[in-house]
């Protein structure tokens, strides 16, 4: 999840709450893909393009399939590509079980099978989605022919980042803000206009409007908080997926740190001094380098001009990494 949410979405929400003005919750826009029954509830998947292997895009915590729309269009030029909404996000129904890695991997398998989207697959996961990609590849090795990790989370990141408590606190504040926003969304007091400034800049204006309508859905906010609360279990489960044999894996890492996500005044308010940021990036870079050990057939690419959302700032790098693994598997 992008730390800018804390200052461009969540902080203004507290001020909106004081207005105590309730309005009708915005309706969901029409689903672009299909809704698939995965055992009494529906998950949404949107697939375009033709060819094999099929690329499956896995979003980070707090993000839905719509975030990938621009990247998906690029990949569809050379193969089939699917983006989906995990439970609670976008057009997908909520789930009652804990939203840890094992539950999410089981959902994804049921979704792809129910949708008739046959493998093999190249999985491309951003942030938390990287761990889900690794978990799926470990659980179903016969179905996966490659993995692209886009500034991916790491199973040991919380232990390593504990050395930078200021950054951990900033992330916790972000989640607390989202949790506080749930009540506002449920009462209809969270208008899409309040969050639209943080819509993915790579989306067309109409899709940015759609993104905002999706973001303020109470179920989507609840889904993000639920995944965060299950993070310890997810990280522990992901640690078992750090050995994928010789499966081709490409690690695409950001080249710009947190200073590229937040304005200077926000960094100062959080105590994120240049020294803190330097230490945090050293740890993160080390974690990215360590992800190469997941496979004996791995490589790393650094997106020198990009912060965390590499697929916004330098999508060509991500597309090239995906295309290479798709071509290799054909």
| Domain presence at residue 176 | no
d(C-alpha 77, C-alpha 296), whole Å:
30
Show the domain range for 81. Answer: 33-158+221-329
Whether 99 is covered by a domain: the verdict is: yes
Q: Can you give the length of the chain in residues?
A: 330
pTM of the model: 0.93
Structural domain tally of the chain? 1
Cα-Cα-Cα-Cα dihedral sign, residues 227, 17, 26, 23: positive
3-class DSSP state for residue 233? Answer: helix
> In which element (H, E) is residue 145 found?
strand 144-150
Question: Is residue 13 in a domain?
Answer: no
Residue 201 covered by a domain: no
For residue 171, being part of any structural domain is answered with no
Query: Domain containing 109 — which CATH number?
Result: 3.40.50.1820
Domain assignment present for 280: yes
**51 backbone φψ class: left, alpha, beta (φ>0; ψ -120 to 50):** left
What is the full per-residue pLDDT of the chain (330 aa) written as tens digits?
444 443 333 333 433 443 334 456 778 889 999 999 999 999 999 999 999 999 999 999 999 999 999 999 999 999 999 999 999 999 999 999 999 999 999 999 999 999 999 999 999 999 999 999 999 999 999 999 999 999 999 999 999 999 999 888 888 888 888 888 898 999 888 999 999 999 999 999 999 999 999 999 999 999 999 999 999 999 999 999 999 999 999 999 999 998 887 788 888 888 899 999 999 999 999 999 999 999 999 999 999 999 999 999 999 999 999 999 999 999
Cβ burial of 180 (10 Å; 0-12, 13-18, 19+) is middle
Give the CB-side neighbour count of residue 273, counting CA atoms within 13 A. 5
- Report the run of H or E that residue 249 belongs to, with start and end: strand 249-254
Note the pLDDT tens digit of each residue in 273-319: 999 999 999 999 999 999 999 999 999 999 999 999 999 999 999 99
Question: Looking at the domain assignment, is residue 50 inside a domain?
Answer: yes
Q: Is residue 93 part of a domain?
A: yes
Residue whose tokens read 């790098």: 317
The answer to whether 170 and 270 have CB atoms below 8 angstroms apart is yes
Rg (CA), the chain: 19
Cβ-based burial of 48 (10 A; exposed 0-12, middle 13-18, buried ≥19): middle
């Amino acid at each position: 999840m992008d730390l800018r949410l804390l200052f461009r979405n969540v902080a203004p929400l507290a001020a909106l709450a004081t207005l105590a003005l309730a309005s009708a919750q915005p309706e969901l826009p029409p689903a672009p893909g299909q809704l698939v029954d995965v055992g009494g509830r529906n998950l949404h998947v949107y697939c375009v393009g033709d060819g094999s292997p099929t690329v499956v895009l896995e979003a980070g915590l707090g993000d839905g399939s719509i975030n990938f729309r621009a990247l998906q269009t690029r990949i569809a030029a050379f193969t089939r590509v699917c983006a989906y909404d995990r439970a609670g996000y976008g057009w997908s129904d909520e789930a009652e079980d804990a939203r840890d890695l094992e539950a999410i991997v089981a959902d994804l398998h049921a979704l792809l099978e129910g949708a008739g989207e046959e493998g093999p697959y190249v999985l491309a996961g951003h942030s938390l989605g990287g761990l889900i990609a690794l978990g799926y590849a470990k659980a179903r090795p016969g179905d996966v022919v490659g993995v692209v990790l886009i500034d991916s989370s790491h199973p040991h990141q919380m232990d390593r980042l504990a050395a930078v408590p200021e950054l951990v606190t900033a992330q916790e504040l972000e989640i607390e803000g989202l949790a506080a926003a749930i009540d506002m969304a449920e009462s209809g007091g969270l208008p899409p206009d309040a969050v639209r400034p943080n819509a993915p800049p790579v989306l067309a204006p109409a899709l940015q409007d759609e993104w905002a309508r999706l973001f303020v859905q109470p179920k989507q906010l609840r889904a993000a908080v639920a995944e965060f609360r299950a993070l310890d279990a997810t990280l522990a489960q992901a640690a078992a997926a750090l050995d994928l044999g010789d499966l081709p894996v490409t690690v695409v890492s950001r080249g710009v740190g947190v200073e590229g996500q937040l304005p200077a005044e926000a960094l100062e308010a959080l105590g994120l001094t240049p020294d803190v940021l330097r230490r945090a990036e050293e740890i993160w870079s080390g974690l990215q380098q360590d992800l190469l050990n997941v496979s004996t057939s791995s490589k790393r690419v650094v997106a020198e001009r990009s912060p965390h959302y590499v697929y916004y700032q330098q999508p060509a790098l991500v597309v090239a990494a995906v295309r290479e693994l798709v071509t290799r598997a054909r």
